[in-house]
Amino acid sequence: MVIFGPGQGTRLSPQAQISLITGSPGKDLYTLFGHSGLRVYDPATRMDIMFNYGTFDFDTPNFYLKFVRGRLDYFLSISDYPSFVEFYTRSGRAVYEQVLRLSPPQKEKLFAYLQENYKQENRFYRYDFFL
């Protein structure tokens, strides 16, 4: 797996692809609506990572209360894609992949955006999914 840091400007090869990954709903409250993320797969560099905008800290005080009120802070995390699939499979949940039809410049632009969002100062946000 390729790891990059802010400002490193990791570039994609022409073989790279970016996909929308959707996980089916689960039984826990926070999984009832399923989940989506973006996969960046580049066989030339052996990169296969998942950008997950739905990460939160279970140890947050009053977690469920903040969750249902839309006051829970979320953050962007990155994991290796095989681990993401394994987690969903172990949970009995399906994973669907839709490869995005993007030109090489569009892939680079989206990947740069994801890297920018992953910087410490950009990765936290509040999301109220009941709105």
The pLDDT tens digits of the residues spanning 20-30 come to 998 866 676 55
The answer to whether residue 10 is domain-embedded is no
The answer to whether residue 22 is domain-embedded is yes
pLDDT for residue 10: 80
The answer to whether residue 1 is domain-embedded is no
**Mean pLDDT, to the nearest integer, of 38-58?**
90
Element (H, E) at 114: helix 104-118
Burial class (CB in 10 A: 0-12, 13-18, 19+), 31: middle
The answer to whether residue 74 is domain-embedded is yes
The answer to whether residue 131 is domain-embedded is no
Query: What is the chain's percent helix, strand, coil content, to nearest 5?
Result: 25, 30, 45
The answer to whether residue 83 is domain-embedded is yes
Of 22-26, 80-84, 85-89, where does the model show the most confidence? 80-84
The answer to whether residue 11 is domain-embedded is no
When divided into structural domains, the chain yields a total of 1
As beta bridge partners, residue 33 has none
Q: By residue range, what is the domain housing residue 73?
A: 17-126
The answer to whether residue 7 is domain-embedded is no
